[in-house]
A and B are shown apart, each in its own frame.
Chain A
Amino acid sequence: MELKKLEEIFQHKIDNEIKIEPKDWMPEAYRKTNIRQISQHAHSEVVGMLPEGNWITRAPSLKRKAILLAKIQDEAGHGLYLYSAAETLGISRDEMIEQLHSGRAKYSSIFNYPTLTWADMGAIGWLVDGAAIINQVMLCRTSYGPYARGMVRICKEESFHQRQGFEILYVLSQGTDAQKAMCQDAINRWWWPSLMMFGPTDAESSNSEQSMLWKIKRKSNDELRQQFVDMIAEQVKVLGMTLPDADLKWNETKKHYDFGAINWNEFWNVVKGNGPCNKQRLNARIAAHQNGAWVREAAIAYAEKQKNKHKAA
């Protein structure tokens, strides 16, 4: 079949909400965009475990340790779902990991910020996972089947992440003056980076238009960001805390919250590798992979041996 015809059939499916599945014909750019986006998403889940892993031994109670462990285990699982979805597009797991380690593939910049206090675990759950969920709920309806199915599974599991985060902050907000201050400080540090998680403004976003046409994305960065601000601006009142933005205020005409200008210089700086923790994160990731190499090799050797034993018997 000629290319033009194939492209027509493809776009017809997209327009009619028919999911694209791995063996279906798809434009190379669609394949590449999905590989890039899904693998970045997977890397974010995996790197996202690092700032939290730091707090497993420091969590204030056994209950909190168990919850944090469960959350981090979920994130490893989410990374796996996403890597698997990307693999259906023809890229291998090794190649994706290599791209991450060499710096060619990105992960969400939010994980290049340090986690300084226990309240950061709360702020990450509430704000960072909250922002991620807004994006992920949209992606449950993305046009590539395996990605959409992975997202449905992730969204089901992710909801506890945000709730436990809010609960951590809520407990602190009811505590001593020092605990309240810790809570407010964490919110202050995580608020702006969380807003940046939605990516550049629509005017600046290079990938957006085609992605919307292909229904890889279904809402623009700015739409999603606004949805997040509206949600958090209400929830923060329950904590009796404030968001660090003097311009934040309800706009009765728009029925949305107005908010202040985002420091995009900071955003691009972190994306380019100059955030507070870029190097630590990547080094920790590479070390984990290298230190695990002997386990992977041993497992293969053991599997071979068992297979041979089985054959001989």
Chain B
Amino acid sequence: MNNLIKKYFYGDYGEIEAGSNASNNNKNIAWPLWEVFIRSKQGLDHKHVGSLHAADEQMAIENARDVYTRRNEGVSIWVVESKYITASNPEEAGELYEPAVNKIYRHPTFYKLPDEVDYM
């Protein structure tokens, strides 16, 4: 099964149309992959919910509505073609987030205050 894995998807698609260039030998034209983000209600952020294939952005929105909002899960949908997402590399996570870990004085709990004002 090793040879089946030709590309790595999801968040680091590179330039090639993600998920769509494999086994086109039988005149199968596959639709590109889209990532779907849903706002569950007014006032909340859009959140990544999954992905789907669609021929264009309009179809991606319609398919996203059909699959990801059948039970009132959303009031707004974003779709973006997966190949346009650039993702950080998990192997560099150490260096990338190290500064945040080190600076404990960025957290309110770092400061010891007298009891009278500790609700601050």
Contacts and interface: CB of A to CB of B under 8 A. Distances in A.
Interface string A49-93: 000000000000000000000100110010011001001111111
Contacts of A293: 27-28
Given A21-B90, A91-B4, A297 B29 contact: yes
A261 B90 CA distance: 48
Given A31-B5, A92-B23, A23 B52 contact: no
B55 A84 contact: no
Contacts of A91: 4-5
Interface stretch (A189-197, A271-279, A298-306): A298-306
Contact of B90 (A23, A35, A150): A23
A299 B10 contact: no
B19 A92 contact: yes
Interface of B is mostly: loop
Contacts of B10: 22-23, 87-88, 146
Interface in A256-313: 293, 296-297, 299-300, 302-303, 306-307
Contacts of B90: 21, 23-25
Given A35-B1, A98-B23, A93 B91 contact: no
A77 B70 contact: yes
A92 B4 CA distance: 8
A304 B9 CA distance: 23
Given A32-B1, A84-B52, A92-B22, A296 B29 contact: yes
Interface of B: 1-2, 4-12, 19-24, 27-31, 33, 49-53, 55-56, 59, 66-67, 70-71, 87, 89-91
In order of increasing CB-CB distance, the 10 nearest A-B pairs are: A92-B22, A303-B56, A299-B55, A88-B10, A90-B5, A22-B10, A303-B55, A94-B23, A77-B67, A84-B51
